[in-house]
Amino acid sequence: MELIQVTNLVKKFGSFTAVDGISFSVKQGESFGLLGPNGAGKSSTMRIIGATSQRTSGDVKILGNDPEIHGPQIRAHLGVVPQQDNLDEELTCAENLYIYGRYFGLPKKMVTEKLDELLEFAQLTEKKDAKVNSLSGGMKRRLTIARALVSDPDILMLDEPTTGLDPQARHILWDRLFRLKEKGVTLLITTHHMDEAEQLCDRLIVMDGGKIMAEGSPAGLIKEYSSKEVLEVRFGSDRNMQMVDKLKNLTDRIEVLPDRLLMYTESGEELLARISGLNIHPNTSLVRRSSLEDVFLRLTGRSLIE
């Protein structure tokens, strides 16, 4: 059962093409990611799926219906967490959740009964009657996510859910999203953090310049587009380039970043030993598993986070 079906979607703003003919579908209960750098067209895609922005061409079906024709009816099934928190800052946490439930037409009694549960989910029980403009960034983010859950959405859409949060706040959020996934909520997540995509997504598309570069599960993409391990070596910024020539025969793929070389290999330790054998000694070295960052680098020749 496809909850979201996107076919040849194009979105233009004037002469600028934000989304350039993408197609994908998301099944019920799936956690689907849109991974890409800022400006890749993720948010534009999200807004079209969220039935708040019109597409230029292509076909979109959400729950089998066209968002441009049945916008309000489709939105009744969605929970949306936008990139920027857009809470009503003058109102309290509880009031924000309450009025949002009312926007969905939920009865007053029903919304009131849900408040405590949602505040607990957002870990804001103590802040129930605090005005939103007194909250920290992480608290506002959690409140925005709790707000999106007030209507028990079938699809929860999160646009860069943890951007701007400190590591601890991110892990709390991930934990909350895992719980929702366990409950069977379909998640649609955009992110430019590959660790987030690896953590949360069953399947994802890698986007760049409005196009889909690759599609698959995080593990599948890593397997397809990268090696098992990566050896990162640093020789100092002026010597990195010189060393490429000496090292390039040791492995199939080397990426040169401003501060380090990435060498793709099935065994990092073994490769490092061979480098030492050549009497080459990097200033520092690190062996790690391949990540989606490496997939992105492979696909676009650019790093995801500059």
Partner 1 sequence: MSLVKTVNRKVSTTGFWYVVEARLRNMLKWTRIIIFVAIANPVLYLISIGIGVGSLIDGNSPVDGVNYLTFLAPALLASAAIQGMLDEVIFPTFQGFKWYKNFFAMNATPLTGRDIAGGVFFSALIRTVFTVSVYTITLYFFGALKSSKALLVVPTAILAGAGFGALILALAARAKSDDLFMMITGRFIMMPLFLFSGTFYPLEQMPVFLQWIGWISPLWHATDLGRLLTYGSDVSVEMVIVHLTYMLVMLVVGLFFAFRNYSKRLAK
Chain contacts with partner 1 (rule: CB under 8 A): 1, 3, 28-29, 50, 52-54, 63-65, 70-78, 80, 82, 84, 86-91, 95, 99-100, 102-105, 147, 151, 154, 183-185
Q: Shortest Cβ distance from residue 131 to partner 1 (Å)? A: 9
C-alpha pair distances (Å), 147 with each of 70, 82, 215: 22, 11, 30
Given the complex with partner 1, which of 95 and 215 has the nearer CB atom? Answer: 95
Given the complex with partner 1, which of 42 and 260 has the nearer CB atom? Answer: 42
235 closest CA partner among 269, 276, 285, 286: 285
Q: Shortest Cβ distance from residue 28 to partner 1 (Å)? A: 7
Q: Shortest Cβ distance from residue 24 to partner 1 (Å)? A: 19
* Contact partners, residue 286, CB within 8 Å, separation at least 6: 231, 232, 233
Given the complex with partner 1, which of 89 and 269 has the nearer CB atom? Answer: 89
Given the complex with partner 1, which of 1 and 175 has the nearer CB atom? Answer: 1
Q: Shortest Cβ distance from residue 77 to partner 1 (Å)? A: 6
What the block records as the tokens of 302 is 């650019």
How far, in Å, CA of 12 to CA of 23, rounded?
A: 16
C-alpha pair distances (Å), 302 with each of 49, 159, 249, 297: 28, 22, 22, 5
Q: Shortest Cβ distance from residue 244 to partner 1 (Å)? A: 46
CB atoms inside a 10 Å sphere around CB 31: 22
| E strand or H helix at 38 | none
Given the complex with partner 1, which of 70 and 274 has the nearer CB atom? Answer: 70
Q: Shortest Cβ distance from residue 163 to partner 1 (Å)? A: 16
Given the complex with partner 1, which of 104 and 121 has the nearer CB atom? Answer: 104
**CA atoms within a 13 Å half-sphere pointing along the CA-CB vector of 87:** 28
